[in-house]
Amino acid sequence: MKTTIKAYGAEDAKADLKPMNIDRRACGDDDVKIDITYCGVCHSDIHTVRNDWKNSKYPVVPGHEIIGRVVEVGKNVSKFKEGDLVGVGCMVDSCQECASCKEDLEQYCEVEMVATYNGRDKHLGGHTFGGYATSVVVDKKFVLSIPENIDEKGAAPLLCAGITTWSPLRTWNVKKGDKVGVIGLGGLGHMGVKFANALGAHVVMITTSPDKANDAKALGAHEVLISKNTDDMKKHRNSFDFILNTIPVGHEMDPYIGLLKRDATMVLVGAVEPLKPFHGGGIILGRKRIAGSLIGGIKETQEMLDFCGKHNIVSDIELIDMKDINTAYERIIAADVKYRFVIDMASLKN
């Protein structure tokens, strides 16, 4: 069985998003049905709508930062009940059998990680539709508990921007006293600053723009390093224990590699595209590392959400109505948002 619901999506790569109807499966024995209250807007939504990665399946209904209330559970579901505040992030299924899945790293599933949108729909056929919709039905293993004490609107981007920055900080064991650099003050970078600060690190925001200094410090940065200032970059050479690189496009790597201590790591979370060539000597001479990280597994995401509940951490957002999504896309491209858009899904239901 299936149900037809309201959604917002794009029919092709050049089309604006507009109202449409999509099908959702009925709530199965292992499923949770969620009434969506808020959905964050991620730059990945734009890449997929516009087929920047050349793998989009149309119509595209984006949205993988989903917050809502449980309205129905299957007979095998005991963890969630009607009325619970829950979230759904970037994935809704995986094989559950491979080595990565067994280590709670479903995002690296070696068989098939099913994306919340633009993935393979195992139940209805075709492809998955995301959270720009009134409701969603998700396997219980991929539903997350949202702490009731945090602002649910600001919690939405935690399901992508939050876990994308949390996972590398935890994987590389960032701790109290470490000197941590966060490159880029945007949707990802502002969460990296908040998390690194809450973990007790000395946080340095690394940016090309002096205008962002006050904002960075208000978010929890202890220092601001202007990467265009050659003298200041020299002062910080070989001094960082860890750098989180959130730049979303290809860029020069050598200046940032020079900031790392011996044996330190810079993790890329933003540039899913070719980087400019960098000099091998920069990493060889200091036994330095460049690594990458993709979101986080369900267990780790829940740990992040629980940490946010304990420390009252949410994203800085601008709330919009569904009808304003096309304008929001243009503003994201122009870096005109502090720091994530979140859609009030009541505007779609009315």
Domain locations in the chain? 2-160+297-349, 162-292
CATH architecture of the domain 2-160+297-349 equals Alpha-Beta Complex (3.90)
Mean pLDDT of the chain: 97
Mean per-residue pLDDT, 160-176 = 98
Taking CB atoms within 8 Å and a gap of at least 24, the contacts of 108-117 are: 108/294, 115/64, 115/90, 115/91, 116/63, 116/64, 116/66, 116/88, 116/89, 116/90, 116/91, 116/92, 117/48, 117/60, 117/61, 117/62, 117/63, 117/64
Quick: pLDDT tens for 300-337: 999 999 999 999 999 999 999 999 999 999 999 999 99
- pLDDT of 1 above 90: no
Structural contact between residues 95 and 142, judged by C-beta atoms closer than 8 angstroms: no
- Mean pLDDT over 211-222 rounds to 96
Give me the mean pLDDT over the 165-173 stretch.
98
Q: What is the pLDDT of residue 350?
A: 81
Q: What is the pLDDT of residue 250?
A: 94
Average pLDDT over residues 92-118: 98
Residue 220 clears pLDDT 90, i.e. is over it: yes
What lies within 8 Å, CB to CB, of 257 at 6+ separation is 266, 278, 282, 283, 288, 290
pLDDT of residue 47: 96
pTM of the model: 0.96
Read off the pLDDT of each residue in 263-287 and give the average, rounded to a whole number: 96
Say if domain 162-292 classifies as CATH 3.40.50.720: yes
Region 223-244: mean pLDDT is 97
Give whole-number Cα distances, 189 to 158, 162, 237, 288, 310, in Å: 12, 10, 21, 22, 21
Using the structure block, give the residue that is written with the tokens 């304990």: 310
Question: In the prediction, which pLDDT does 107 show?
Answer: 98
Q: Can you tell me the distance from the alpha carbon of 255 to that of 234, in angstroms, rounded to the nearest whole number?
A: 9
What's the Cα-to-Cα distance from 210 to each of 205, 207, 259, 340, rounded to whole Å?
11, 7, 19, 21
Angle, nearest 10°, between helix axes 161-171 and 298-311? 100
Burial level of 280, CB count in 10 A (0-12/13-18/19+)? Answer: exposed
> Looking at residue 94, what is its pLDDT?
98
